[in-house]
Each structure stands twice: as structure tokens, then as C-alpha cells.
Copies of this chain bind each other. A is one copy, B any other.
Amino acid sequence: MERTKADPRVLRTRKLIMDSFIELSSKKEFKDITVKDITEEAMINRATFYYHFEDIYDLLEKVLTEVLSINLDYERYINSQLDEETISNIFIAITDFQKSLSHRCHRGYEDTIARIIREQLEMIFYKLLLKERPNDHEDGLKMAAVMLSWGIYGASVEWRRSSENQSPEDFMKQGIPYILSGLK
């Protein structure tokens, strides 16, 4: 399992499975969705599911990663600085993602979701930092990316907890100066 990405059969099958899972998620809670449900909806054999995913939790993780990655749309920032606007956009993408999940029911998987968000953030920040400071030491940049990802994630938790009425942009503005000054 987990081989080449190129074979069209593989792409097709994975898309069928993921789309079916997303479709089912809009009708049932995660805990009530079985592998059989998914493969029947996707019209693929159950054995084929296990060729691509370890189990249903692996699928959940990959679907969430995929959806979040589309939300974040890294390509957008390829030519941007790690400035106030970029951070604000990333923050908005995160809060949007969390809002979209709150409609579905993933109770009990908050920690998985949190980890996925942080992993994606870390990767994006690392790429941006590397582009911006190619001469810095890798380990330092990695550590900065880790801290940024935790910081932004924490901010999103705080935003949901206390101030959903405030726009994410305004909320984030309060914290950004501290983040940016730490990076100077």
C-alpha cells in the first residue's frame, strides 16, 4: 500500500473513496460510518480499500489533510512574504476549516484534527521561511515553523472559545505584531 501517485487507476480509486467518505460524512456521524458503507457508495471492492488505506482512521486523516490543504492553498503564497496579510489569510483558512468541520460530527477526534492542522501549518511556514531566509540554519527555521504553527493553532482555539462574533481578521490583528517582531 501507499505506492506511486501516477497510475490513473490509483488516482481514480482514491478519489472515489474520498468523495464517498465526504458524501457519507454529510449524512452520518463518523462513528456510524463503516468501511462497507464507503466501498459500496464508491462502487469499489472492500479489499481495494485496504490496498490504499490502513483503516478508516487513516482515511479520515488523509481526507482531512486533503481538504485542509485545498483550503490553505499554499500555491497562493509562493510569491508572498511572510507578512501580516499572509498570516491573516492562513488564519482565516484555518478558522474556515474548523467551521466546516463543526457541522460534521467528529467528536473524539479533536486531537487528530489539531495535529493535522499543525502539521500543515508547520510545512507551510517552513517553506515560506526557507524561501525568505535561505542562509539561516535549517534547524532554526524548523523550530520557528513549529512555534508558529502552535501559535496560530492556539489562536484559532482561543478565537473559537471566546470571540466567534469577532471576525478572524480583526482577532488576528492583535497577535500578529508579536509574531512578526519575533521573526525580525
Contact = CB atoms under 8 A, between A and B. Distances in A.
Interface of A: 8, 12, 43-45
Chain A contact surface mostly: loop
Nearest to A43: B8
Contacts of A44: 8
Contacts of A8: 43-45
Contacts of A43: 8, 12
A8 B12 CA distance: 14
A44 B12 CA distance: 10
Contacts of A12: 43
A111 B81 CA distance: 65
4 contacts: A8-B43, A8-B44, A8-B45, A12-B43
A179 B128 CA distance: 79
A12 B44 CA distance: 10
Nearest to A45: B8
The 4 closest A-B pairs by CB, nearest first: A8-B43, A12-B43, A8-B44, A8-B45
A97 B43 CA distance: 30
Contacts of A45: 8
A101 to B, nearest CB: 30
A17 to B, nearest CB: 13
Nearest to A16: B12
A6 to B, nearest CB: 13
A45 B7 CA distance: 11
